[in-house]
Amino acid sequence: MPKIWFALALVIFLTSFDLLSQTSICTNCPSLVKVKNRADFDAEDYYLSSYKVDKQNVKAFKHAVHKDINREFISLSYKQVWTALTFTDEDPNNANNIRLIYKNTSIAKKNNGSGNNSRQQDYWNREHIWPKSHGFPKKSQQGYTDLHHLKPADVSLNTQRSDNDFFEGGYPLKEAPNNKKNISLWFEPHDGVKGDIARMILYMDVMYEIGSHKDMPDLEVVSYYDTKRTDLTNEVGQLGDLCTLYRWHFADPIDAFEINRNDTIYEFQANRNPFIDHPEWVKVIYQSDCESN
């Protein structure tokens, strides 16, 4: 074989191998390209509108934050979410594993419940922290694949959480007793992720305002539980309980894992969770609803 053809064949082989190495990280996980570099993030530029608004005007400030986090958003496909989660939730102690939200354990990235593995109850799948049945039941809707509220979860625990609101109390789950559930009314996760969940839900509340996305209703965190299932035709999707989540935000502060996750999502989705970058903004926006005079 002439040298030039041998070299060309070698390049093709290596390229194919590299593509395989990207897509074989887990079952049915397509390759994913970064659209941002975390090192280039400039808060002054990114939060341009937010920094200019008087925080005493809560409504105007919330809308300014909404504008900033929507400016460059890039939607992923639901298949790409599989791949993205292997990076956003990678176990810092084992690069071959990811951390599970409710079970609070580490599991191999390759053990995802896709395709023939969907019935493997001890594998992991994609948990919508804001339930998709509360505003965006179709894969085509932007909120369905928004990484900021998607987490790897044990398949069976994902089923047990269902689409319940977040509140405190209930019966410990047999498989993960640090999590509790009150029949079908609410779900209480373990203490280590309560703040993470609160910031995800509050992000969704700010990200999706009325009329801001043609394929999404207004998402609204409310001060009660047992909210109803909704879709775009209802014009609003609700989830509770606001003041429980407010308390969780302060009780479980941001840690290095959550900061890294925010940076990684920024690299793939081009937007950020403002309550991780600025945890004090939770008080600015929600204090009047959850703290008595």
pLDDT in tens, 26-62: 999 999 999 999 999 999 999 999 999 999 999 999 9
Helices (H), 90-227: 155-161, 194-207
Q: Please tell me the predicted confidence (pLDDT) of residue 291.
A: 87
End-to-end CA distance of the chain: 83
Q: CA-CA distance, 155 to 96, in Å (whole number)?
A: 19
Q: Please tell me the predicted confidence (pLDDT) of residue 6.
A: 43
Q: Please tell me the predicted confidence (pLDDT) of residue 22.
A: 47
Residue 1 has pLDDT above 60, yes or no: no
Asked if 252 and 194 touch (Cβ cutoff 8 Å), the reply is: yes
Q: Please tell me the predicted confidence (pLDDT) of residue 23.
A: 52
Q: Please tell me the predicted confidence (pLDDT) of residue 81.
A: 98
Q: Does residue 56 sit in helix, strand or coil?
A: coil
Using alpha carbons only, what angle is made at residue 137 by residues 133 and 139, rounded to the nearest 5 degrees?
A: 145
Helix (H) or strand (E) holding 190: none
Structure tokens at 1: 């074989």
pLDDT tens digit sequence for 209-241: 998 898 999 999 999 999 999 998 888 999 999
Segment among 71-85, 87-101, 106-120, 269-283 with least mean pLDDT: 106-120
How confident is the prediction for the chain on average, in pLDDT?
92
Structure tokens at 203: 């992000």
Q: Please tell me the predicted confidence (pLDDT) of residue 227.
A: 97
Q: Please state the rounded mean pLDDT for residues 139-161.
A: 97
Structure tokens at 38: 């975390």
pLDDT tens digit sequence for 10-34: 333 333 333 333 457 999 999 999 9
Q: Please tell me the predicted confidence (pLDDT) of residue 292.
A: 67
- Per-residue pLDDT band for 119 (boundaries 50, 70, 90) equals confident
Task: Please report the sign of the dihedral spanned by the C-alpha atoms of residue 243, residue 167, residue 63, residue 68.
Answer: positive
Q: Please tell me the predicted confidence (pLDDT) of residue 15.
A: 38
pLDDT tens digit sequence for 164-223: 999 999 999 999 999 999 998 999 999 999 999 999 999 999 999 998 898 999 999 999
Helices (H), the chain: 3-23, 43-46, 48-52, 58-70, 78-88, 155-161, 194-207, 242-251, 256-269, 274-277, 281-290
pTM of this structure? 0.91
